[in-house]
Amino acid sequence: MAYVKIMIHAVWGTKSREPYLAKEIRHQVISHIKQNARSKEIFIDRLNGYNDHLHCLMGLNADMSIAKAMHLIKGESAFWINKHKITKCRFEWADEYFAVSVSESMLDKVRIYIDTQEEHHKKVTFTQEYEEFIRKYNF
């Protein structure tokens, strides 16, 4: 048996950064993603976001790549949102996403950051956050 614990902070946005994820819709989508992830054996530690993007702290097991987890989360949730007409128009996630590993010592800091997204985005736009991620992680 392989023992693997790799924690990933992933961030992805809506197509063209459209603000589809108003608070009520965002909570429905987050709840659905968590439920779907459990069924696919993707461990989600934290999931939160704002009107145009989500942040996820997830653990990967030995059989799950970042690309596979993101495909399963984003693809299935977009399908579910459209099937149940959660948004007024056709919903899509942007193709790109960020994903960085998180050390054990930084987990609590990332959890707080994800939990406080609504407060954070009263001061910082997703575009500013996006540019900061690119700079901070040398993408």
pLDDT tens digit string along 75-115?
A: 999 999 999 999 999 999 999 999 999 999 999 999 999 99
Sheet containing 6-14: give its strands across: 43-50, 53-60, 6-14, 93-101
Around Cβ 38, how many Cβ atoms within 10 Å?
11
Q: Which fold has domain 6-136?
A: Alpha-Beta Plaits (3.30.70)
Indicate the pLDDT class of residue 4, thresholds 50, 70 and 90. confident
Tokens of 106: 């930084």
CB–CB of 16/76 below 8 Å?
no
Highest-scoring range by mean pLDDT, 61-65, 79-83, 118-122: 79-83
Question: Does residue 103 sit in helix, strand or coil?
Answer: coil
The helix (run of H) or strand (run of E) holding residue 49 is: strand 43-50
Domain segments of the chain as ranges: 6-136
**pLDDT above 70 covers what percent of the chain?**
100
Under 8 Å between Cβ of 5 and 59? yes
Q: Is the pTM above the cut of 0.85?
A: yes
The Cα 43–Cα 46 span in angstroms is: 9
- What band does 74 get if pLDDT is binned at 50, 70 and 90? very high
Structure confidence at residue 19 (pLDDT): 96
